[in-house]
């Protein structure tokens, strides 16, 4: 048993550095999905976080920028954010971490030399490399049947890489049924714009068909701060009459990602979304009303985090996950993770990468491992002070829970 703090530190750092991670929410894809999988230095540097940061300095016309090639955009961003200003933001620093952990010469600042490295690798070689360097064992994708570039893949080859799991993403269905119902009709589902009884059955059939086709581990949606159930809206009716029963039938969680104000600056595209504080009472209502359902929830607003942790104490069918998007900064990850551990013990999923570019698995997890390890050390030290002794096996158990098993146990699946 470990009773001294130096040994404890060494063991926690070793276990957190060595644990193989299940990354439960990403926007990366297996190789079979072709161009949907983004990787390499030009994709890294044109990540939408960095585009937003580029326009903090640049007065360039948005449309003119987006008309450029990825390489031309990357050259502008590299010059502005890395050469003319020190790259200290989390997204800027992340690029450097990727290059450093790949063993490239970061000090050279030579983006063309980096391009030569990436050009020397095949997609499958680089997927293997990133999983090896990042210590990620499997990722959950974001799979959208309404995406005209993705649906054909599922209608032909599907997903054949066991490292990549599927999650069914239904934003168009829930947030824009007035448009998306026409796609359902096109695909042979007998739905009407007013969501009558027949439509409810057909939407359920659509969801069930795709959960089965994808072997989806959960059903997910991104939602505005105003998301409310119950209310007299198509979204609320689809959630209660379609999503909840189908998720229960398949025994998969409904994952709600709440707090996005879409396209507050539409000219920035993906970089144009912002954040708003949501109403926790909808999560309380769903967890209380549907105790047989499982809910995964992450809020985008820092202001929702404390009440979310308290709500998770009330409902065992609620699993909080990640420090999402604008919360994925070291200072906020530290605050939220300490709050959650002090409130929920180890019964939460501390992080997901949200990687949109394969390479980001490397930096997002390298940075988060360090933060979470220091918090665990502090919390274990607190109980050592009370003369509680702990074993290496118990530390490994706790760490594997936070970085993988809490998810698999909650969804009642094995990998």
Chain contacts with ligand FIX (rule: CB under 6 A): 27, 142, 222, 257, 270, 325, 354, 356
What Rg value do the Cα atoms of the chain yield, rounded? 22
Q: State the nearest-atom distance from the C-beta of 259 to ligand FIX, in Å.
A: 10
Closer residue to ligand FIX in complex, CB, 191/243: 243
- Residue 164: strand pairing partners: 139
Q: State the nearest-atom distance from the C-beta of 405 to Zn ion, in Å.
A: 22
Distance between CA atoms of 356 and 27, rounded to whole angstroms?
A: 5
Binding site for Zn ion (CB under 5 A): 354
Distance between CA atoms of 279 and 300, rounded to whole angstroms?
A: 12
Of ligand FIX, Zn ion, none, which one does residue 356 interact with (CB within 5 to 8 Å by kind)? ligand FIX
Distance between CA atoms of 253 and 112, rounded to whole angstroms?
A: 44
Of Zn ion, ligand FIX, none, which one does residue 222 interact with (CB within 5 to 8 Å by kind)? ligand FIX
Of Zn ion, ligand FIX, none, which one does residue 95 interact with (CB within 5 to 8 Å by kind)? none
Q: State the nearest-atom distance from the C-beta of 341 to ligand FIX, in Å.
A: 23
Q: Are 361 and 136 in contact (CB under 8 A)?
A: yes
The 3-class SS string of 69-84 reads CHHHHHHHHHHHHHHC
Of 300, 318, 317, which Cα lies nearest the Cα of 309? 318
287: how many CB neighbours lie within 10 A of its CB?
20
Of Zn ion, ligand FIX, none, which one does residue 159 interact with (CB within 5 to 8 Å by kind)? none
Q: State the nearest-atom distance from the C-beta of 151 to ligand FIX, in Å.
A: 18
Of ligand FIX, Zn ion, none, which one does residue 150 interact with (CB within 5 to 8 Å by kind)? none
Which token pair is 361? Answer: 């698995």
Which token pair is 17? Answer: 């550095």
Closer residue to ligand FIX in complex, CB, 285/325: 325
Closer residue to Zn ion in complex, CB, 208/329: 329
Of Zn ion, ligand FIX, none, which one does residue 413 interact with (CB within 5 to 8 Å by kind)? none
Closer residue to ligand FIX in complex, CB, 27/165: 27
Which token pair is 264? Answer: 């507050």
């Amino acid at each position: 048993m470990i009773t001294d703090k130096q040994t404890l530190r060494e063991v926690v750092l070793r276990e957190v550095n060595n644990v193989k991670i299940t990354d439960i929410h990403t926007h990366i894809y297996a190789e079979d999905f072709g161009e949907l999988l983004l990787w390499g230095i030009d994709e890294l540097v044109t990540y939408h976080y960095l585009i937003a940061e580029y326009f903090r300095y640049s007065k360039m016309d948005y449309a003119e920028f987006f008309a450029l090639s990825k390489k031309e955009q990357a050259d502008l961003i590299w010059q502005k954010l890395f050469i003319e200003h020190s790259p200290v933001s989390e997204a800027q620093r992340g690029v450097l971490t990727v290059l450093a952990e790949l063993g490239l010469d970061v000090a050279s600042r030579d983006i063309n030399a980096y391009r030569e490295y990436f050009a020397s690798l095949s997609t499958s070689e680089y997927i293997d490399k990133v999983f090896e360097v990042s210590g990620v064992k499997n990722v959950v994708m974001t799979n959208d049947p309404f995406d005209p570039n993705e649906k054909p893949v599922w209608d032909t080859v599907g997903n054949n890489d066991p490292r990549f799991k599927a999650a069914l993403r239904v934003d168009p269905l829930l947030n824009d049924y007035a448009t998306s119902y026409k796609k359902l009709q096109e695909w042979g589902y007998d739905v009407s714009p007013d969501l009558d009884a027949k439509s409810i059955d057909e939407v359920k059939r659509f969801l069930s068909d795709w959960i089965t086709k994808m072997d989806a581990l959960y059903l997910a949606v991104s939602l505005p701060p105003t998301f409310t159930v119950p209310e007299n809206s198509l979204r609320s009716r689809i959630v209660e009459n379609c999503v909840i029963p189908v998720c229960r039938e398949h025994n998969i969680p409904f994952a709600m990602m709440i707090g996005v104000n879409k396209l507050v600056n539409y000219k920035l595209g993906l970089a144009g979304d912002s954040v708003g504080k949501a109403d926790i009472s909808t999560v309380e209502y769903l967890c209380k009303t549907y105790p047989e359902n499982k809910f995964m929830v992450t809020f985008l607003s820092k202001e929702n985090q404390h009440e979310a942790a308290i709500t998770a104490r009330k409902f065992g069918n609620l699993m909080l996950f990640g420090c999402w998007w604008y919360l994925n900064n070291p200072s906020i990850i530290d605050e939220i993770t300490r709050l959650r551990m002090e409130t929920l013990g180890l019964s939460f999923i501390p992080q997901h990468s949200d990687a949109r570019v394969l390479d980001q698995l490397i930096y997002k997890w390298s940075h988060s491992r360090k933060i979470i390890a220091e918090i665990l050390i502090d919390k274990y030290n607190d109980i050592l002070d009370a003369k509680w002794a702990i074993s290496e096996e118990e530390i490994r158990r706790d760490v594997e829970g936070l970085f993988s098993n809490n998810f698999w146990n909650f969804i009642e699946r094995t990998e």
